[in-house]
Amino acid sequence: MLAALMLAFAPVVWACWNVDGFIVKKGEDTELADGKVFLIGSTIELEMYTDVPSGEYTWTELWYWSTGAETKVSTNVLATAGEYTISCDMDIDFEVPDLPPETKSDSVSFYVITPKLTTDKNSLSLCTCSKANITLEIGSEVSNLSLEWSLTVENDDDDKPVRVSLEEASEGYGRVVKMEKNSGTGTITVTATIETDSGPIYKSVEVLVTSEGCSSCQQAGGVDSSLGSVDTKIYLGKTSGGELSGFLRIKSETVGPVLATPAGLEAVVLGNGEGVEVINYNSEIRQVLAPQGLFDVVTNSSTSYSVNFYELSQVGAKGTNGYYTVTGDPSKTITVTNPSGDPGDVDTLQVVQTVNGDSTTSEYHYDGSDWTLIEGNGLRTEILSMSINGDYKTKTRTVKNPDGSIASQIVERYFNFNLPDWDWGLVETTHGVGPDAISETIEYYTSTNAVDAGSYGMVKRRQSSDGSWQSYTYTTNGLVETQSRPWLDAGTNVIENDYTVSVDPAFDGLSLNGANPRIVTEKIIEGATETILGRTYYAYGTNVIGDAVEIVERACGTAAYGDPDNQRTITTTYSLKTGGTDFVGRLRSVVNDDGTMTSYDYAHGNYVTNANPALNSFSSSTNGTCLRTVITEGTEANPVGVAYRSLQTVTVEDELGGILQNEAYVYNGTGYERISWTVNYLDVKGRAVETISSDGSKTTTQWGCCGKEVETGATGVTYDYAYDALSRNDLVTKATDSGGLFTVYTLDAEGRQITSVIQSGGLSLVTSNKYDSLGRVIMTVDPAGLVSSNSYEDFGRTTVTVAPGGLTNRSERYVDGRAKAVHADDKLTTTYEYGVNPDGSQYTIVYNGPSGLTSLSWVKTTMDYLGRPLSKEASCFGGATITQIYEYNSKGQLIKTQAIGITPQPAATLYEYDELGQQYRSGLDRDGDETLDLGETDRIRESISYYEKTGVDWWSVSESFVYPEDGNATPVSAGKQKTRLTGLGIVAANGVLLSESKSTDIPGNETISTAEVDRDNKTVVQTVQFPDSTAEAVSISINGLLTSRTTKSGLMYTYGYDSLERQATVTDPRVGVSTTYYNDKGQVESVTDAADNITSYAYDPESGRCIAVTNAIDLVTRYEYDSKSQLRKIWGDTTYPISYQYDDFGRMIAMSTYRGGSGWSGTEWPAS
């Protein structure tokens, strides 16, 4: 585009000099004003002329000029976006007596733009916003320029309205989209309109408000089928920063012939589409190139097509037909088929995934009223039934196991509100079947009056069948104003949000983060009594360089903002101005109330590998594809760190967010030295295939379609993993010399573990579980056949557990979910009481025994709003109470504890902290002056941790000191521990040195412990050098099992195991081999010592407790327990008979022995 700017002067009139400045024009007629916008690449031509005779003036100008006499011309191509100003100055010397020179000047400013919009997220996910409001930054490279912004919303079917707002960004350009945590799902489109010299330019960003991001199978080529109609996604994998780049989608409300053709396939590209190229043929998707691979769509027939996924390494250049070329076979094929083979006969759609010749099928079926989705070759069947009765619509989702039993069921009832932009809304959800079912009803605000616009379509109240509930009110612009829920059974817990009052007007003018509250107040209401528990204050602003700053203060009770006892955190993040689109929203620093500070620094660059992984390196480059993050732990006074105390961690990520390297550095007073590193080598999908660390450890992993298939850890132990047709891990095999130790899982349709079988060498142990339709465990049978059962009452508020042996525990909860009471065999054992003090602190009293709230045995704990204990009270003998009190400084650090209610009064314990907020000194304040005085009578102990460099090696050191003598301020070492950080991974006598530590006791004696690994032979050798022996204590483990142990006295014990890796033999060098035998239930059946003496064991079949031990000469000792597993009686051939009695608190109150009587050799306790 050519834009000509003409600067014209009126002709010179000598008698009446009349120069009015410059007139800026485009072409001949159009006058241009400041603020015009040109697209990048435009050409500006500037022409200036005058009739003033040559020599009567001189030209000065900030641009360069072409040649010319009276006419000056300049041409510039606008190649860089930004804001430009052209200034033209004319100095005129009239050469007339008494007429001084005159200067005339003018300027014009304009903008050059790309233009483009960027986002910092690909989507707004309900998975994350279930905990907090989330934001999406829409950035533009245009600053100080008037843009028109618009937001459109498309709601998903049968969901409540999407609740989003469009606000100004902190830098005055760009926009922030904010979604509330109770928003519905759908699609939002943000559009910016820019008026340019050649007309308006429109740029839009589409963002999904979705539950995407919750699935664990979103790697490239991953497939997820869900039932609401036909809805299958084929994920495109990751894009820059590890975000989901998008997916191919088959979605339709009906099964039709088009679904079995590429015409039924659509591409959903998230974010701004970076790295994703969609190639169409005849309006159908033919190929999609994504950052992690190519998706090639091939038509098989009129009723079938395939999507072939190729790794990037298999993708070549485009051919003459415009499609990318590929080599080799696809790593995965997804085939979509109408199995009838007749385009006119369509009631079923199959989606078949094939990897390495193995296929799994998902099948949609529609019979005119019900939808059915069969997945995993029949492992999971989901049925969706739908009916409409007047203004109500009911959807029933039933998931069935392969045997047809119900694994879960959800019934959703919708109401047709028939209101603007809102038809169907979910009003009731029921989970489970029959008496297990738990329901929740939902009430909405439905007023369409303008004054109620903020609450329209928002949830008013949720009521669960277990008695719990939540209610909400909203501001006029749709923000949550209050959130209420039950407190205990009858009270109310209220959280109030105030958005209108700035707690720090000089810093926070309420222009930033307007959707975030400034004051959050939590209170408890009991009857007419209202008690404020505490407040959280928020302030948002910018610092002098433009970073975004958030100040959060948590206050107890009614304390005001700025109270010195408030706990303050200051978080600084990069803004668009300071971090650009690359780093906007990332942390820059966090300052805590104790003065500690964590700083963050980021850089793009390139990662260079080396044959020696220790030499892998990162080099900064603005065009690099990798990201380095440096996190420094320092203080506000010393952000760079504290010498020999502070650590710095460095992480390097690839362009898809995969971790390539982690490093740790220690500050030595002038700089940071590396003390450890870990390098990950990733496959094309960003998964670690080899991990090597500076301590010499290495882990290798082989990956398949569904997850890891083989993994060998640092000690050489190898595990194989297998998966069922639903990609769930159902087999783990540990490699052993005997052929493998297998753990086999059977899962139901919802992935719950039905059985777990450990087996090897003909031996096996089985654990089984049974669930109700809510997924709660109702019965467990362990390998010994012992049965535990659970039942649920009051819609889950009461849980009844029957343990093996018959003990019945009954646990009750208040409506708000807190523990209320526990019964054992219908006897009350524990009762809970809760309350609120006038200052907002809360207490919990735990009563023990059957007397409940009147029990004389109790413990009361009082906590403040910040979760810190203020006091602990306990009943004691004679009705007295002992109280432990806690005091804190303004930094929130515990500085004093003291027990009161005891005579004589014990001294208080005081605590002191270093500049990093770590407690380093504590002691008894014997003189009572509230300080720890060295060299006086206080009993003081110190503990310090630091890093130490000895020679070229770094160590982590912990050292403790005491002051044992009154009047002596000289500390005495009470012990020192050192752990080696560098110099590991070197070749040692028994493999690679994995760890080393040194411990020094008070006299200065040193004990040295090392661990060496021979990974190839799966061997770990742990050695301990004691100061009182010239011989080392050595333990050897092979394949994860201890095989021998040699003491410092030179005695070597060896250990053997059965095929289930249970210890079977122990060889004592002094007496020989003892052997343990197990029964088929996994219990120890007998032990044979080195002299072939056999000790055997018998068990109660109901409880599994040992009830008899028979020694080598067939003499028996018998045991009897009550249902609480308390030992009641001992008798038999080898011991005096003994009986025990217990009170209602479970405490032993009597022990009786018997010297006479008869029948003590019987299997039952004698009647007399």
**Is the pLDDT higher at 154 or at 306?**
306
Over residues 1085-1089, the mean pLDDT reads 97
**At residue 2, does pLDDT exceed 60?**
no
- pLDDT tens, 36-94? 666 555 555 544 444 444 444 444 443 333 333 344 444 455 555 566 665 555 555 54
- Tokens standing for 947? 């890093």
- Res 1016: pLDDT: 96
Over residues 391-416, the mean pLDDT reads 93
CB neighbour list of residue 658: distance below 8 Å, 6 or more residues apart: 242, 680, 682, 686, 687, 688
How many other C-beta atoms can be found within 10 angstroms of the C-beta atom of residue 1023?
Answer: 19
- Res 251: pLDDT: 85
**At residue 1063, does pLDDT exceed 70?**
yes
Query: Distance between CA atoms of 462 and 459, rounded to whole angstroms?
Result: 8
- Res 117: pLDDT: 47
- Assign domain 118-214 to its CATH architecture: Sandwich (2.60)
**Hey, which of 70-84, 573-587, 970-984 has the most confident mean pLDDT?**
970-984
pLDDT band at 579 (very low <50, low <70, confident <90, very high): confident
pLDDT band at 134 (very low <50, low <70, confident <90, very high): very low
- Res 15: pLDDT: 28
Query: Distance between CA atoms of 168 and 741, rounded to whole angstroms?
Result: 60
Q: Any idea where the domains of the chain sit in the sequence?
A: 2-113, 118-214, 216-378, 479-593, 604-696, 1095-1168
**At residue 626, does pLDDT exceed 90?**
yes
- Res 382: pLDDT: 93
CATH 2.60.40 fits 2-113, yes or no: yes
Least confident span in 22-26, 215-219, 823-827: 22-26
- Res 79: pLDDT: 56
Over residues 343-362, the mean pLDDT reads 89
- Res 760: pLDDT: 96
The per-residue b/e assignment along 559-593, b for 16 or more CB within 10 angstroms, e otherwise, is: bebebebbbbebbbbbbbbbbebbbbbebbbbbbb
For 872, phi then psi, to 5°, come to -130, 120
**Is the pLDDT higher at 231 or at 906?**
906
**At residue 230, does pLDDT exceed 90?**
no
Least confident span in 159-163, 502-506, 809-813: 159-163
**At residue 120, does pLDDT exceed 50?**
no
Q: What is the DSSP letter of 244?
A: B
- pLDDT tens, 520-567? 999 999 999 999 999 999 999 999 998 999 999 999 999 999 999 999
Strand partners, 1151: 1140
Q: What is the DSSP letter of 978?
A: E
Over residues 666-692, the mean pLDDT reads 95
**At residue 1051, does pLDDT exceed 90?**
yes
**At residue 1034, does pLDDT exceed 80?**
yes
Note whether 2-113 and 118-214 share their fold.
yes
**Is the pLDDT higher at 48 or at 635?**
635
**Is the pLDDT higher at 192 or at 3?**
192
* Mean pLDDT for all residues in the chain: 85
Least confident span in 147-151, 348-352, 1158-1162: 147-151
- pLDDT tens, 726-782? 999 999 999 999 889 999 999 999 999 999 999 999 999 999 999 999 999 999 999
**At residue 172, does pLDDT exceed 50?**
no
- pLDDT tens, 1092-1149? 999 999 999 999 999 999 999 999 999 999 989 999 999 999 888 999 999 988 899 9
Least confident span in 172-176, 715-719, 779-783, 1034-1038: 172-176
Three-state SS annotation for 585-652? CCEEEEECCCCEEEEEEEEEEEEECCCCHHHCEEEECCCCCEEEEEEEEEECCCCCCCCCCCEEEEEE
- Res 58: pLDDT: 46
pLDDT band at 573 (very low <50, low <70, confident <90, very high): very high
How many other C-beta atoms can be found within 10 angstroms of the C-beta atom of residue 727?
Answer: 18
Least confident span in 644-653, 673-682, 702-711, 740-749: 702-711
Query: Distance between CA atoms of 571 and 588, rounded to whole angstroms?
Result: 8
Sheet with 102-113: strands ordered across: 36-39, 102-113, 82-92, 57-61
- Res 1135: pLDDT: 87
Query: Distance between CA atoms of 390 and 396, rounded to whole angstroms?
Result: 17
- C-alpha 149 chain-centroid distance: 33
**At residue 270, does pLDDT exceed 80?**
no
